[in-house]
Amino acid sequence: MRVILQRVTSSSVVIDGKCVGKSGLGYMLLVGFTHDDTEKDIDYMIDKIIHLRVFSDKDGNMNLSLEDVKGSILSISQFTLYADARKGRRPSFIEAMRPEKATILYDLFNQKLKETGIPVETGIFGADMKVTLTNDGPVTICLESRK
């Protein structure tokens, strides 16, 4: 499982001209799955995301977590995180989990995030989405559930 985490002051996702999800201070997450990802990967990633200390404390040091700042999350499905563009001009997506399985894990990921008490909004799996964000810092971190 891969997640691109961006610390944001705000983010939103629009589908067919309608805003379907947004967040304030917190994270905009791009979330992708590969073939052998399981609920164990989701649990690891959720723990990492909510406890990662990347928000500034009163001294300007990154010492506070999403929980500490009472932030929110906009979660966006993103199969292209598993694109392989090393050969040729067209990326291969064979490492991305098939949509019929990935949508189940994506929904589980978002459900478990919500169960932590953090406000979570999402895009729509497989939709053509227009995502807007104001990256704070900028802080962008690539997370992997496995080595």
Instruction: List the catalytic residues.
Output: 78-80
Burial of 58 (0-12, 13-18, 19+ CB in 10 A): exposed
- The one-letter code for the residue type at 62 is M
Residues 6+ apart with CB under 8 A from 26: 7, 8, 66, 69, 71, 72, 73, 74, 118, 119
DSSP states of 73-124 as a string? Answer: EEEEE-GGGG-B-SSSSS-B-TTBPPHHHHHHHHHHHHHHHHHTT--EEE--
- Residue in the block written with tokens 């949509």: 99
Which strand (E) or helix (H) includes residue 2? strand 2-15
